[in-house]
Chain A
C-alpha cells in the first residue's frame, strides 16, 4: 500500500496513526473525512481537535451514512483534491509541522 502524504496530523487517539484525507462517496456525492490509518478515528472536517467518531470495525461504514471508507469508490485524496475541498489550510499546517520536525538538510 502506498503511503499518502496528504494528512492533517497525528491521530489524537492512538498518536502514531496519520489522519489522512479519505474521500468516500455515498448516494449524494463525495464525502471527505479525515481518517486515522491506524485506529480508524474519523472527522468530517480537518479539525482533528474535535471529538472523533470511529468507523464501524468490520465494514468501515461511516456511522449513519450509507457508505464505507473501504468501498471501491473511496480513495485517499490527492493534494489537488484537498485544495478543491478547501481543506488546504489544514494540510498546509501538517506539512509545515512535518518540515519543522525535519532537520534542515534531511527534508524530503
Chain B
C-alpha cells in the first residue's frame, strides 16, 4: 500500500510541517489572549482573530461606506473635532467655525478693500435675512462669537498702538483644523455670510436692542430706524454728500471691534483718546495704530479719499448714537 492512500495528513507530503502548524496555533492563541489586554493597555486598535479571518469583507464594507463620498468623511471629522453631542455640533457648525473662518479672512482685508466693500454692499441682504426682531433665538451663537471679539479687543487694549497685529495673531491661532474639502468650503461660505451680520455679532437683549462685548447698546433710533442701520451708512461712501463722510473698511466684526475699543478707551485715561461731554451726548475721539477706513463724501473725494486711523464715537451713556472714521 502506498502511504498516499491512507486517510489523514501525510507528514512527508504536507506542504507545512506539523511543528509549524502547532507553532502557528500557539501564536494565534497567545495573540487571542493578549489582543484585548494590549488594546486596553496601550490604546492600540489590534483586530481580534475573528476580524482578522474576516478582514477582506470588512475592509470592503468600510471602503464602500466612506471612500467614494468625501462628504461623510468631512462630516465625521468635523463632528469629532468640534464636540461630542449632537446639540453642540449644531451650534458649533452654525457659529464657531464660521466666525473663525471670518477672522482668518480679516488680515486680507487691507489688501482686498474692494472685495470686502463688495461684500459689505450685501449687508442689506444680511439684515433682511436677520431682522432685529427675529434674532433672540440666535443669542447662543452670538454669545460664542462676541466672547471671542472681547478677547481680541482686550488683547488689543493692552497695547493701544499694537491693536491690529495682536488681533491678527489671535485670529490665526483659532483656525479650525478641518477647514478643507468641498463640503467644508460650501458650509463656511454660508456661515461667513451669516456671521458677518451685526445682529449675529452682537448679543440680543430684547426690544430690538443689542449689546456689544464692551457694554455698548445698539438700540432703535435715528432716521434709519435703528442705530445699526445708521452705522451701516458708514460702511460705504456717499460721494455726493456735502462735506466729509467717514467710511469704515473691513467687515462688520472689525467695525464693531473698533467701536468697542474706542468705548473701552473712553472709560479710562488714554493718551490717544479724547472725551468730550455735550449735554447728554459724549463725543469720543480716538486714534488707532493703523488705518480703520477713509474719508469719503465730496470733501474726501476732493482730497483723494485719504485713509484715516481716527474714529469718532458719539454715545449717550452706554447707548450708541453714531461712529465714523474722521
A residues whose Cβ falls under 8 Å from a Cβ of B: 1, 3, 5, 7, 10, 13-18, 37-41, 51-54, 57-60, 69-70, 98, 101-103, 106, 108
Contacts and interface: CB of A to CB of B under 8 A. Distances in A.
27 contacts: A1-B233, A3-B240, A3-B241, A7-B242, A10-B243, A13-B314, A15-B244, A15-B326, A16-B312, A18-B241, A37-B223, A38-B322, A38-B324, A39-B278, A39-B283, A39-B314, A40-B222, A41-B281, A52-B279, A54-B279, A57-B319, A60-B221, A60-B223, A70-B222, A70-B225, A101-B299, A102-B302
B324 A16 contact: yes
A16 B314 contact: no
B304 to A, nearest CB: 13
A102 B299 CA distance: 8
A57 B321 contact: yes
Mostly, the A contact residues are loop
B42 to A, nearest CB: 65
Contacts of B223: 1, 37, 60, 69-70
Given A7-B242, A40-B321, A58-B219, 17 more contacts: A13-B283, A13-B314, A14-B312, A14-B314, A15-B244, A15-B312, A15-B326, A16-B243, A18-B243, A39-B321, A41-B278, A52-B278, A54-B316, A57-B319, A58-B220, A60-B222, A69-B223
A98 B297 CA distance: 13
A54 B242 contact: no
B286 to A, nearest CB: 14
Interface in B117-147: none
B219 A39 contact: no
Q: 4 nearest interchain CB pairs?
A: A39-B314, A38-B322, A16-B244, A58-B221
Interface residues of B, number: 32
Nearest to A76: B223
A59 B321 CA distance: 12
* Chain B CB within 10 Å, residue with most, of A7, A52, A70, A108: A70
Interface of B: 219-225, 233, 238, 240-246, 278-281, 283, 298-299, 302, 312, 314, 316, 319, 321-322, 324, 326
B242 A98 contact: yes
A53 B279 contact: yes
Nearest to A9: B243
B23 to A, nearest CB: 88
A60 to B, nearest CB: 7
Contacts of A10: 243
A38 B233 CA distance: 10
Contact of A18 (B233, B242, B279, B319): B242
Contacts of A40: 222, 321
A14 B281 CA distance: 10
Contacts of B279: 51-54
Contact of B221 (A13, A18, A41, A57): A57
Contacts of A38: 314, 322, 324
B207 to A, nearest CB: 9
Contacts of A1: 223-224, 233
Nearest to B316: A57
Contacts of A3: 238, 240-242
A7 to B, nearest CB: 7
Contacts of B298: 102, 108
Given A70-B223, A106-B302, A54 B280 contact: yes
